[in-house]
Amino acid sequence: MPGHLKDALEESAKTGIHIWDYLCFLPVKDYIDVVYSCDIHFQNIGEELNVEVINPPGG
């Protein structure tokens, strides 16, 4: 099983956050500093992975 898929499955099972959210985030986490999203799950993932998540409508 590819590394990102395995990691996404493990994190999803641990946190209850959808696997799709982790599959969007994990492959690029080492290459980005900021994510723009209004998805509350991304706020949690960003905090966990030390990536800033900005909610554009909320500032």
Task: Encode pLDDT of 12-51 as tens digits.
Answer: 999 999 999 999 989 998 999 999 988 888 888 988 889 9
Give the number of domains in the chain.
1
Higher-pLDDT residue of 6, 42: 6
Q: Is the pLDDT of residue 1 over 80?
A: no
In angstroms, the CA 13 to CA 59 distance is: 30
Is position 30 within any domain? yes
Range of the domain at 19: 3-54
Ranges of beta strands (E only) in the chain are: 34-36, 52-54
Is position 44 within any domain? yes
Q: Is the pLDDT of residue 3 over 80?
A: yes
pLDDT confidence of 2, banded at 50, 70, 90?
confident
pTM comes to 0.79
